[in-house]
């Protein structure tokens, strides 16, 4: 991942150019467009575009490494330490399985050319557009495979007495989510 990070940083800082259609904001959520997906499933290069105020859910990369580099604007990356809950409140949905305490770590602001490496199990995070003046932010993501799904973390409401007494973190449920690429036009707009 270090070599991928160095290569991305060098390419962006040497004025590498992405096709214009990859860096446009999306009408629905942040844009997620495939620049290249290796036919043998060894890696994928995804371009994400972030309009002002857009962010991901808290997520991991489903046991897949990732290098993320800022191409345009600025993004905030909030990392979390995820600790599986020891005691399970059985009255919760699914019997309380897949529950984790998330502990926020230091938030990082990344500018053009900054790259970060996410290697499981230290890959739980969220990304948001932190570009000044309403600018669209664009990031390049290289994954160690074809990322078709991720695991998202959603807050769980539990009584304080049910939460682990020694845990200052908040309880979240980990759930699988399928990922899709951004389509530029709806099917009816292109006559299909």
Predicted confidence (pLDDT) per residue in 21-65, tens digit:
999 988 888 899 999 999 999 999 999 999 999 999 999 998 999
CA–CA distance, 185 with 81 (Å, rounded to integer): 38
Which tokens hold the place of 93? 């949905």
Per the prediction, the chain carries an average pLDDT of 86
pLDDT band at 134 (very low <50, low <70, confident <90, very high): confident
Predicted confidence (pLDDT) per residue in 91-130, tens digit:
665 666 788 999 999 899 999 999 999 999 899 999 999 9
Strands (E) located in 58-191: 59-60, 66-72, 74-84, 99-111, 115-118, 125-129, 137-143, 149-155, 170-178
- For residue 73, give the nearest of 143, 3, 6, 127 by alpha carbon: 127
């Amino acid at each position: 991942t270090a070599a991928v990070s160095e290569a991305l940083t060098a390419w962006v800082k040497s004025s590498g150019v992405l096709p214009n259609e990859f860096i446009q904001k999306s009408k629905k959520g942040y844009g997620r467009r495939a620049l290249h997906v290796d036919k043998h499933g060894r890696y994928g290069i995804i371009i994400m575009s972030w309009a002002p105020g857009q962010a991901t859910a808290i997520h991991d990369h489903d046991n897949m490494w990732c290098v993320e580099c800022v191409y345009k604007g600025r993004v905030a990356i909030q990392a979390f330490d995820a600790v599986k809950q020891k005691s399970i409140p059985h009255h919760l949905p699914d019997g309380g399985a897949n529950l984790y305490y998330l502990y926020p770590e230091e938030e990082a602001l990344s500018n053009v050319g900054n790259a970060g490496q996410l290697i499981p199990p230290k890959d739980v995070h969220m990304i948001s557009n932190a570009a000044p003046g309403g600018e669209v932010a664009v990031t390049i993501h290289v994954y160690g495979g074809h990322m078709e799904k991720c695991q998202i973390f959603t807050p769980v409401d539990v009584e304080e007495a049910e939460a682990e007494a020694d845990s200052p973190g908040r309880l979240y449920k980990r759930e699988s989510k399928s990922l899709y690429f951004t389509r530029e036009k709806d099917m009816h707009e292109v006559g299909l």
